[in-house]
Amino acid sequence: MAGLRRYRTVVSDSALWAGVAFRDGDIVISTPAKCGTTWMQMLCALLIFDTADLPRPLTEISPWLDAVTYDTAAVLAELEGQQHRRFIKTHTPLDGLPFEPGVTYICVGRDPRDAMLSFENAVANIHPDAMTSGGLDPQVSQPISEDPLERFWMWADAEFTPESPSFGVTLANLVHHVRTFWERRDDPQVALFHYADLKADLPGQLRRLGDVLSIEISQQRLEQLAAAATFERMRNRADELAPGVDANLWRSNRNFFRSGTSGKWRDLLDDAAVDRYTRRVGELAPPDLAEWLHTGLGSK
């Protein structure tokens, strides 16, 4: 782990990757929070198992390896025992991950404003018993302000930090995470997807993912598998597919898949606020990355 940046929050510690014995073919799904992590895990599962009928809950098949709320030794033992192609979840940026030959690293981007509002909904859905049983401070899940616009600007104006006493979710951290992939997007081991592209053409993006992972699939089978990964179908299987169901993390598993829509930030931000937000993004990302983050329309 020498030379890697260490990321630590109340729920994760990237140093836990030091215990992983990688295999050729491993897949690391590294996304900012609420940018399509579970969606990408499901798409990988569909291709790897060639069925929508998974043998166990998705969160057990594809564990969040560097979450401090799990028994890391047990997670590593479980991964070592897996005979199928492994796909592992993390919210650690690429500069905090061991970069090993034969491993594919996947990131999913999303309009940061949508990710922020989705994260707020997710935090409100955390079951209070899950916080205390996981050794976390229940106050972490409390809103920092009652005013949603004030919360937005606290999120947008915060500086990047690899260590956070809370969840580490800010605009600067999200942009930095995606930028670590963006700057290596020409590396054959690195693949970038976008939430908007997944919504616009799920079969096409599943085909692209199959190409990235060198998994051949017929067009008919691709259409069948993609149908199992629509938002509504996944929400109907929330008890199997939501993250953390093994730890009773949510008040409602179904509400983890709350809406899947984009653009609700328009109800919060007027034109002047959008201009201010755009200037802030310009401080954090080059123009091509900023445009891609907010539109997709042409992943790597």
Sorted by sequence, the CB contacts under 8 Å of residue 186 that are 6+ apart come out as: 300
Determine the 3-state secondary structure of 211 from DSSP.
Answer: helix
Cite the beta strand spans of the chain per DSSP E.
27-30, 87-90, 104-109, 190-194
- The backbone torsions φ and ψ at residue 147, rounded to the nearest 5 degrees and listed phi first, read -90, 115
Buried b (16+ CB within 10 A) or exposed e, 172-199: bbbbbbbbbbbebeeeeebbbbbbbbbb
- The backbone torsions φ and ψ at residue 38, rounded to the nearest 5 degrees and listed phi first, read -65, -35
CA 124 → CA 58, 118, 153, 194, 250, distances in Å?
A: 22, 10, 19, 25, 9
**Is residue 176 flagged as an active site residue?**
no
Length of the chain: 300
Catalytic, out of 91, 176, 194, 294: 91
CA–CA dist 297, 292 (Å, integer): 7
CA–CA dist 18, 263 (Å, integer): 39
Active site residues: 91
